[in-house]
Amino acid sequence: MNGKLLFGVLMVLIASMSIAGCIAATTDTAPYELAGTWVSVDSGSPVSYDLTLECNEDGTAKLTGSIIGGGMSKNLNANLNWEYVSGNQYVGKSGNSSLAIYLTGDTLTITMNPKKMGIADFDIDFELTMNRLATSPDAIVGLWNGTIDSDVSNEVMLDFLEDGNGSISVIYYAAGTATQEKKDITWEYVNANEYQAKYGSNSASLELYDDMLTISIIPSTFIAGTSDSPITVLTKSFILPLPFIESPV
């Protein structure tokens, strides 16, 4: 998926490999940015709603809450699917019905008709606005890793501790030789789903989407002689199996 491609670009730069066409500059939203929890915002429409939408990174979703309008009320507990279309547009699906979803920053805009979606008996078109639910400050605590598999497997591992410290470990392969780098970091919660990490005199921004964490770094600040352009690395949380309870080195 696109996440692996983006991660692979970082590894390619760090390892000084040459693979063309891995990434292109874009201002569009990334497919994974819909992942997370969204809560409805009162838009003053004829329909009153109190909804929560949980979008998982695997393309599944659940819509729960209630809708009141047209003299009727309905509690919802619907399983949905979603997928990325292009630009800032996604599509949500329920059975054979679908609806367009637009993402701008931390706000979703959805024009929906509950009856056409098959989730309630309201034949009313209305605009639904939802905001991203802020993550808890300690939501990134734990171990995260990212891997791209080709002829070799390159890895990035991040360890965030509850006290605001942690580490970034990189294992990369070039010319048949494995090299490992590790830097101590400090991290802090910024707002919503955003965090910031610092290593030495450098800093890196992080954003949390469900169980996917993005970290934006400049490779040359991590390993001398590599790219000076920012690269986004996608990592996923994992549980280190016993008895390996120490952070990766």
The CATH architecture that domain 35-132 belongs to is: Beta Barrel (2.40)
Helices (H), the chain: 2-14, 114-117, 219-222
- The Cα–Cα gap between 244 and 45 comes to 54
CATH T-level assignment (fold) for domain 2-21+137-237 = Lipocalin (2.40.128)
In which band, very low, low, confident or very high, does the pLDDT at 83 lie, cut at 50, 70 and 90? very high
CA-closest candidate to residue 53, choices 5, 138, 112:
112
pTM exceeds 0.85 for this model: no
Q: Which amino acid is at 43?
A: S
pLDDT digits (tens, 9 = 90+) for 92-120: 888 887 888 999 988 999 887 777 766 66
Which residues of the chain are in CATH 2.40.128.50 domains? 2-21+137-237
Give the tens place of pLDDT for each residue, 34-73.
Answer: 999 999 876 566 667 888 999 998 999 998 998 776 667 7
Distance CA 176, CA 225 (A): 19
